[in-house]
């Protein structure tokens, strides 16, 4: 299947899994098992499935056929080119294509002059009035293509203006733009472009990032250290007839060369193989040429030859428009689409399956505890009432007094439980302070000040090392305090289990290691970016400030994720305690009500015993259903089969009894 078809199936699979989770939530709610912790966990998992994005970034020097490749893979259904792909330079600014239902179809363009101001790209995204907006008619391919041509617009500026905007460097004259007959220099008119359109793939969560050449990409630190590292796949395009040029290699080393753990996320495309099609050469000779270029490019870039794919984007687009199967095969475009489907979508689905499965396992343990506690309460009530068979009214009255005394003692323990919660919340508050934005900004203030120092910063790696060492130490401190919280809760839970017969169990110990690893990855991304060319750029205060803000924006995402994880862990522990406290209070009320009914009517005892036995039978059925749902887990079958399970779950919900839980 093509990448488009594979992506359709991936989207259908996500929707099916979200439906499964919705069915599970309804099943739990019908049985009064959906406490706040379980509700939030399920909502997070559903949100993760619904909002999951797959970003594919296309990176190349000018004239490698990058925009044509995007047209061929994603937009051939329009029957024409959508992204500008004429000879020479086309995409002059980074361009993101995605879909936001809250924004009408449009092209938004951020003027290049915003580089003269300190705000980061992330901050400019929050200022829509600063972008030029052009409405798009997605049903008119001609209007769509004409509007998107604006990403190729340029300005002519003086040398001083080019220097201020980040396109002129006295230390690297070979990278500077050429002077025109009028003595001016050509630079992009726009700093960034956002295209919002209801293309089927974009609606399903695909995000396409189209980037310009080395000089433009290097001048925008946020692009290299934030957007590209977050892409699930990076497609690096070379010209098949030239292989890896000097500027290609510079771009690869400074911006794309992956760390070992991200090597599989890089694909290299040798485009324009049709330039090697020569009627004077045999097919075998042409194939040998292509294979030599693949192997040579892989060796230079440090990749496996399997990650270097030879295609003709132009012939592939033409073949799709004309529905020419033979030409499509010759273009080898399907080879790239298969690689994208296998390397991007298969890996993304694996990550989602693991994440959702882990969440469901934690939820299962939590619900199982609720059911166990509920079952024990019912057993105790049943034994208590069966012991009353044949007893006189005095014994029954004494039982009521004993239950009321137990209830009073239980209520009196509330102050002690509240005191424990106060200590627990105090410790958690300290953890959240370590993970909060105030602490992060304070930690990064020294780093930002060092970046903004005038002159070439040869000690920049030491500055990064010191800053990230402080951040890692902060996460380790938060981890240690979480351990204290866990130990304190463990002691409290054991006491309550002993005193009141609860079945409280601590959630699995929270580990912040993956967030520490995220810090390591950000540090590596930045250090890779700080080659000699960018060290020269870093001597400019405006560039240094943009880089500092790019670091902070990525770190904020890491710290917010860590804080969210701690919050969910805390809610799971608190919900367990709240649930068993609530269940015990209900049990007292039911026991007193049962004794009252027995006192009022001779048949009340047998009636209540029958009710309890029926509830125990229903509880056993609920446990079996929970086990079945847990065994099913996250469907990894073909998407078309998945909705059946969601229907089965909803059917279980409809079978729930309306009796007293």
The average pLDDT across 651-655 equals 33
Domain boundary among 549, 583, 617: 583
Q: Which stretches within 85-137 are classed as H helix? A: 121-125
- What pLDDT score was predicted for residue 661? 34
Contact 270, 290 (CB under 8 A): yes
Establish if 555 belongs to a structural domain: yes
- What pLDDT score was predicted for residue 325? 93
- What pLDDT score was predicted for residue 218? 64
**Residue 198 and residue 91 in one domain:** yes
The average pLDDT across 181-194 equals 90
Region of 390 on the Ramachandran plot (φ > 0 left; ψ -120 to 50 alpha; else beta): left
**Residue range of the domain that includes 520:** 415-583
| pLDDT tier for residue 550 given thresholds of 50, 70 and 90 | confident
Check whether 1 has a pLDDT greater than 60: no
The average pLDDT across 583-605 equals 76
Establish if 266 belongs to a structural domain: yes
**Residue 226 and residue 80 in one domain:** yes
pLDDT in tens, 375-408: 888 888 788 778 777 677 788 788 888 888 888 8
Establish if 245 belongs to a structural domain: yes
Mean pLDDT, rounded, of the chain: 82
**Residue 139 and residue 274 in one domain:** yes
**Residue 426 and residue 326 in one domain:** no
**Residue 139 and residue 236 in one domain:** yes
pLDDT in tens, 255-290: 776 654 555 678 899 999 998 888 778 889 989 999
pLDDT in tens, 76-127: 888 988 888 765 556 678 899 999 988 999 999 999 999 888 788 888 988 9
**Residue 439 and residue 570 in one domain:** yes
User: What is the domain-level CATH number for residue 65?
Assistant: 3.40.50.300
**Residue 421 and residue 297 in one domain:** no
Q: Give the pair of three-digit tokens for residue 415.
A: 């102050």
Number of separate domains in the chain: 2
**Residue 324 and residue 222 in one domain:** yes
**Residue 441 and residue 324 in one domain:** no
**Residue 133 and residue 227 in one domain:** yes
Domain boundary among 274, 305, 331: 331
The average pLDDT across 537-555 equals 79
Establish if 639 belongs to a structural domain: no
Domain boundary among 551, 568, 583: 583
Establish if 64 belongs to a structural domain: yes
Separation between Cα atoms, residue 236 and residue 303, nearest integer Å:
12
Contact 237, 271 (CB under 8 A): yes
Enumerate the β-bridge partners of residue 207.
55
Establish if 83 belongs to a structural domain: yes
**Residue 89 and residue 203 in one domain:** yes
Contact 152, 91 (CB under 8 A): yes
Establish if 16 belongs to a structural domain: no
Check whether 314 has a pLDDT greater than 90: yes
pLDDT in tens, 45-86: 888 888 888 888 999 888 888 889 999 988 888 898 888 876
Question: What global pTM score does this model have?
Answer: 0.73
**Residue 128 and residue 236 in one domain:** yes
- What pLDDT score was predicted for residue 659? 37
User: DSSP code of 390?
Assistant: T
Share of the chain above pLDDT 70, in %: 89
User: CA 238, 243, 245: angle at the middle one, nearest 5?
Assistant: 85
Establish if 124 belongs to a structural domain: yes
């Amino acid at each position: 299947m093509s990448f488009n078809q594979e992506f359709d199936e991936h989207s259908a699979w996500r929707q099916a899994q979200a439906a499964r989770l919705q069915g599970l939530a309804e099943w739990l709610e019908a049985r009064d098992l959906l406490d706040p912790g379980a509700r939030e966990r399920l909502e997070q998992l559903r949100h993760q499935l619904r909002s999951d994005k797959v970003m594919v970034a296309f990176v190349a020097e000018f004239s490698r056929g990058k925009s044509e490749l995007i047209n061929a893979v994603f937009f051939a259904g329009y029957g024409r080119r959508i992204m500008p792909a004429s000879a020479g330079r086309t995409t002059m600014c980074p361009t993101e294509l995605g879909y936001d239902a809250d924004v009408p179809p449009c092209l938004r363009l951020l003027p290049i002059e915003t580089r003269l101001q300190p705000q980061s790209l992330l901050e400019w995204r929050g200022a829509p009035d600063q972008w030029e907006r052009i409405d798009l008619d997605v049903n008119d391919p001609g209007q769509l293509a004409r509007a998107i041509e604006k990403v190729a617009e340029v300005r002519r500026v003086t040398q001083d203006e080019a220097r201020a905007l980040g396109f002129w460097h006295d230390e690297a004259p070979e990278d500077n733009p050429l002077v025109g007959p009028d003595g001016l220099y050509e630079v992009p008119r726009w700093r960034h472009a956002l295209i919002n359109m209801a293309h089927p793939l974009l609606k399903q969560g695909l995000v396409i990032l189209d980037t310009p050449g080395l000089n433009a990409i290097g001048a925008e630190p946020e692009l290299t250290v934030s957007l590209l590292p977050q892409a699930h796949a990076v497609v690096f395009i070379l010209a098949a007839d030239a292989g890896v040029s000097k500027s290609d290699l510079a771009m690869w080393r400074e911006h794309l060369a992956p760390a070992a753990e991200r090597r599989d996320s890089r694909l290299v495309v040798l485009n324009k193989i049709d330039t090697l099609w020569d009627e004077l050469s045999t097919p075998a000779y042409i194939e040998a040429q292509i294979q030599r270029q693949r192997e040579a490019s892989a060796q230079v870039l440090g990749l496996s030859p399997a990650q270097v794919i030879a295609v003709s984007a132009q012939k592939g687009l033409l073949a799709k428009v004309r529905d020419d199967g033979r030409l499509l095969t010759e273009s080898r475009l399907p080879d790239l689409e298969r690689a994208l489907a296998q390397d991007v979508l298969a890996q993304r689905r694996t990550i989602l399956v693991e994440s959702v499965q882990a969440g469901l396992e934690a939820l299962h343990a939590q619900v199982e505890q609720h059911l166990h506690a509920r079952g024990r309460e019912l057993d105790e009530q049943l034994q208590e009432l069966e012991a009353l068979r044949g007893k006189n009214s005095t014994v029954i009255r004494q039982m009521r007094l004993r239950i009321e005394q137990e209830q009073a003692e239980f209520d009196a323990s509330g102050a002690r439980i509240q005191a424990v919660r106060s200590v627990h919340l105090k410790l958690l508050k300290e953890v959240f302070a370590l993970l909060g934005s105030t602490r992060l900004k304070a930690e990064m203030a020294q780093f930002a000040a060092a970046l903004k120092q005038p002159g070439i910063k040869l000690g920049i790696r030491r500055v990064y090392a010191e800053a990230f060492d402080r951040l890692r130490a902060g996460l380790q401190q938060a981890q240690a305090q979480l351990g204290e919280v866990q130990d304190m809760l463990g002691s409290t839970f054991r006491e309550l289990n002993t005193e009141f017969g609860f079945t409280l169990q601590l959630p699995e110990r929270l580990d912040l290691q993956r967030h520490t690893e995220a810090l390591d990855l950000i540090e590596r991304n930045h250090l890779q970016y700080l080659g000699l060319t960018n060290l020269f750029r870093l001597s400019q205060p405006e560039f240094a400030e943009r880089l500092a803000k790019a670091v902070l924006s990525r770190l904020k995402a890491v710290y917010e994720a860590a804080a969210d994880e701690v919050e969910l862990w805390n809610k799971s522990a608190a919900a367990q305690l709240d649930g068993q406290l609530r269940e015990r209070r209900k049990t007292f009320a039911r026991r007193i009500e049962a004794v009252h009914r027995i006192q009022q009517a001779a048949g009340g005892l047998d009636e209540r015993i029958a009710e309890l036995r029926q509830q125990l039978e229903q509880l056993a059925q609920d446990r079996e259903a929970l086990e079945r749902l847990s065994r099913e887990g996250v469907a990894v079958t073909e998407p078309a089969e998945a909705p059946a399970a969601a229907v089965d779950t909803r059917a279980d919900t409809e079978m729930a009894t309306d009796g007293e839980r």
